Amino acid sequence: MAFFLAERYLSRRQALDIGRRRADPDSTRLTAEVVADPGCQLVMTLAVPEDEVCYYVFDAKSREEVSAAAARAGVTLDRITAATADMSPTRMDERGPRSEVSGHTS
């Protein structure tokens, strides 16, 4: 499978609610749909209130799988883009994340 970054534009208030872990009905429906679809997995939700956007990271077979899961959930995604990820192990220290593989501080 591959990673896809989906964007959903929303109000600052909605993004703040997601960041505060308050219930977001769209995210809840989207999560339920991807749980039911073994070809599409929601990896992470990231809300950015200042930019009025919510990002979803999916591990899916295709962009179409992400789009279909969102459609079944009744969630409009404004953009879906193929993405790459560095999943190398990291550890936290007092300075923040640090890659175990490269030894460089992020």
Segment 95-104, tens digit of pLDDT: 655 544 444 4
pLDDT digits (tens, 9 = 90+) for 39-64: 888 888 888 888 888 899 999 999 99
- Share the mean pLDDT of the chain: 78
- For 83, residues 6+ apart whose C-beta sits below 8 A from its C-beta are 3, 4, 5, 57
Q: What is the pLDDT of residue 23?
A: 56
pLDDT at residue 1 tops 60: yes
- For 72, residues 6+ apart whose C-beta sits below 8 A from its C-beta are 33
Highest CATH level, class, for 2-99:
alpha beta
pTM for the model: 0.71
| C-beta separation of 42 from 34 below 8 A | yes
Spell out the domain ranges in the chain.
2-99
Place of tokens 């999943």: 87
For residue 47, give the nearest of 8, 84, 73 by alpha carbon.
8
Q: What is the pLDDT of residue 104?
A: 42
